[in-house]
Amino acid sequence: MRVSNHRRAGVDDVFGRLDEIRGDLTALYKDLHAHPELSFQEHRTAAEVARRLGDLGFEVTTGVGGTGVVGVLRNGAGPTVLLRADFDALPVLEQTGLDYASRERATSSDGSDVPVMHACGHDMHVTCLLGALDLLVDARSRWSGTVLAVFQPAEEIGAGAQAMLDDGLLERFPRPDVCLGQHVFPFRSGAVGMMTGPSMSAADGLKITMFGRGGHGSQPQNTVDPVVMASATVLRLQTVVSREVAGDDTAVVTVGSIRAGSKENIIPEQAELLVNVRSFDERVRERVLAAVRRIVRAEAVASGADREPEFEQLTRFPLLLNDPDATARTAGALRAALGEKSVVDLPPAMASEDVGLFGTAAGVPTCYWFFGGTDAVRFQEAVAEDAVAERIPANHSPHFAPEVEPTLTTGVKALTTAALEWLD
């Protein structure tokens, strides 16, 4: 299905309504940012999304996969285009200093009281999708088909997409012909970044418990010290990528947390490691995971542990594959609508996403892109001085705060353009 140059030229007319709704979208974004919610706890956000979808004339279903919301807009015969936004936040203490910064706290899945922040931009994703849906409703005379708006919970723990699929997303609602989505990212605002093929890594989150034998700190000879055992394990795990993964393959092994003990003169009974593994190839993935398990078990034996370590899979993100044809088609539409210089090619990202599960389950193409959220001048200065990592807060940082404009406008335009490209 091709879209004429005449129609692409007319996309600017669709964008005209943005001037009317930009103020409301900005207020919505700031409200969502100030009131973040953890994975599968997004009740306030889901209620606001459902209300707005209803006001736009969508068929609205709530509680899909827990807290997910699905909106359906039927507009005659034609393709079904799935547009996805995630809406959960993170257990991060916000330090942006914004007047709409989050001060929320919540109870995490392990029962801990934690601060909550939209440190990954999901509030921006929700706002952009609602803005794009508003434009598409207003422009119904220009297209035909069905828009399937999916507002997904629990992306941060890699569980939301599968939960919605398990709850009958593909059986209860129109089956999509393509799945589209986007993510705000710390590069220059106003730009859209495209990736083709393997685009975002697979990721595995593991909780590893290593067991020792506790006792008094003055008598280590009568114990098996799990702190020493875990420390040796952390160091040994750093050899997996450097010595067991080929130079032309890619993998990352990170120990993000180590917990053990409660007092300086008590040798504890156990230690806990939280380990993250990322890769772009299934063969590499399995090899790295096997190496992690082998090293953990070997260090336990070397320490004289009486009990085998325990492994718990916390998260499992799929590899995100951007369909080459779908990506090329979508990128062409974005360049026509936003300008050639506004659409750039990006390398694969070691970050992870579960959005690809929708396209895989439906057997249809997925196209997922990034849009910039950092002041363009500030970003270029950081690039020129090779100081991006030091000066530009990245996703999951307590300082991460997308510039509201032109980030919001770019995200709305990108989703609207992509949807129109795939609708008749």
User: Do 16 and 149 belong to one domain?
Assistant: yes
120 is in an annotated binding site: yes
DSSP state of 386: T
Q: Are 68 and 163 in contact (CB under 8 A)?
A: yes
Catalytic residue, chosen from 37, 48, 86, 88, is 88
Category of 288 on φ-ψ map: left (φ > 0), alpha (ψ -120 to 50) or beta: alpha
The answer to whether the peptide bond before residue 198 is cis (omega within 30 degrees of 0) is no
Strand, helix or coil at 59? strand
Number of DSSP helices (H) and strands (E) in the chain, helices first: 15, 18
**Is the Cα torsion angle 50, 60, 421, 80 positive or negative in sign?**
positive
CA distance 319 to 158: 12
In the structure encoding, which two tokens stand for residue 128, read together? 């952009």
User: Do 234 and 247 belong to one domain?
Assistant: yes
User: Do 263 and 381 belong to one domain?
Assistant: no
CA distance 199 to 351: 9
Q: Is 390 a catalytic residue?
A: no
171 is in an annotated binding site: no
43 is in an annotated binding site: no
CA distance 323 to 302: 47
Length of the chain: 424
User: Do 22 and 156 belong to one domain?
Assistant: yes
Residue type, 347: P
List 208's β-bridge partners, or say none.
Answer: 273, 311
In the structure encoding, which two tokens stand for residue 238, read together? 């750093």
Run of H or E residues at 289:
helix 282-302
User: Do 325 and 222 belong to one domain?
Assistant: no
CA distance 130 to 383: 32
Q: Are 71 and 149 in contact (CB under 8 A)?
A: yes
**How many structural domains compose the chain?**
2
User: Do 164 and 262 belong to one domain?
Assistant: no
User: Do 268 and 154 belong to one domain?
Assistant: no
Tens digit of pLDDT per residue, the chain (424 long)? 344 444 455 687 899 999 999 999 999 999 999 999 999 999 999 999 999 999 999 999 999 999 999 999 999 999 999 999 999 999 999 999 999 999 999 999 989 999 999 999 999 999 999 999 999 999 999 999 999 999 999 999 999 999 999 999 999 999 999 999 999 999 999 999 999 999 999 999 999 999 999 999 999 999 999 999 999 999 999 999 999 999 999 999 999 999 999 999 999 999 999 999 999 999 999 999 999 999 999 999 999 999 999 999 999 999 999 999 999 999 999 999 999 999 999 999 999 999 999 999 999 999 999 999 999 999 999 999 999 999 999 999 999 999 999 999 999 999 999 999 999 8
User: Do 17 and 134 belong to one domain?
Assistant: yes
CA distance 233 to 237: 6
Instruction: Give the CATH number of the domain where residue 355 resides.
Output: 3.40.630.10
Catalytic residue, chosen from 48, 104, 155, 177, is 155
Residue type, 123: D
Query: In the listed set 289, 317, 345, which residue is the last one of a domain according to the structure?
Result: 317
216 is in an annotated binding site: no
User: Do 17 and 115 belong to one domain?
Assistant: yes
Burial of 96 (0-12, 13-18, 19+ CB in 10 A): middle
Instruction: Give the CATH number of the domain where residue 258 resides.
Output: 3.30.70.360
Q: Is 88 a catalytic residue?
A: yes
122 is in an annotated binding site: yes
Residue 229 is part of which domain span? 202-317
Output the pLDDT for position 12: 77
Burial of 417 (0-12, 13-18, 19+ CB in 10 A): buried
User: Do 162 and 91 belong to one domain?
Assistant: yes
CA distance 229 to 223: 12
User: Do 162 and 188 belong to one domain?
Assistant: yes
User: Do 12 and 161 belong to one domain?
Assistant: yes
Inter-helix orientation angle 404-422/18-34, to 10°: 120
Output the pLDDT for position 2: 42
Q: Are 39 and 13 in contact (CB under 8 A)?
A: no
Query: In the listed set 284, 317, 350, which residue is the last one of a domain according to the structure?
Result: 317
